[in-house]
């Protein structure tokens, strides 16, 4: 399902995703660990690059629910590097599906921002 985004917003979002993927691949090349490009919570619209160790630390500090698992991390990410042994690389089909889920997430974040903005505007009046 294609998401409806302004062409300029989509270009900006795609550049943001490309940069995050580039950084994840760079980290993977230097350490060999598997890195995930994940969305942030809230309406910031930023992306976070994390590996398994940082995922566990965020769970310990209660930034991420204790119910979250490694499988959730893999299904919710917008991109992930292969494992150290080269297995688990995303296929082109999986990459395109994850890219489309990223665009729908961007659209949802934009919708939330607009709703918050109109709510604050109505509160002032």
Residue-wise pLDDT for 37-69, tens only, equals 999 877 787 899 999 999 999 999 998 889 999
pLDDT above 70 as % of the chain: 98
Question: What's the mean pLDDT in 89-108?
Answer: 94
pLDDT of res. 14: 94
Q: Do the Cβ atoms of 103 and 13 come closer than 8 Å?
A: yes
* Residue 86 confidence (pLDDT): 87
Intra-chain end-to-end CA distance of the chain, in Å: 39
95 vs 44, higher pLDDT: 95
Question: 3-class SS at 29?
Answer: helix
Alpha-carbon distance values, 2 to 51, 72, 103 (Å): 29, 23, 9
113: which 2 tokens? 């921002």
Q: What is the pLDDT of residue 117?
A: 85
């Amino acid at each position: 399902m294609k998401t409806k985004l302004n062409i300029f917003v989509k270009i900006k979002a795609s550049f943001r995703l490309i940069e995050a993927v580039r950084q994840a691949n760079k980290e993977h090349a230097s350490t060999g660990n598997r890195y995930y490009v994940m969305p942030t919570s809230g309406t910031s619209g930023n992306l976070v690059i994390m590996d398994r160790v940082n995922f566990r630390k965020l769970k310990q500090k209660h930034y991420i629910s204790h119910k979250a698992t490694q499988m959730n991390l893999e299904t919710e990410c917008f991109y992930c590097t292969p494992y150290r042994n080269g297995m688990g690389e995303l296929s082109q089909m999986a990459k395109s599906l994850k890219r489309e889920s990223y665009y729908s997430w961007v659209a949802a974040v934009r919708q939330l921002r607009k709703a918050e903005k109109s709510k604050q505007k109505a509160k002032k009046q």
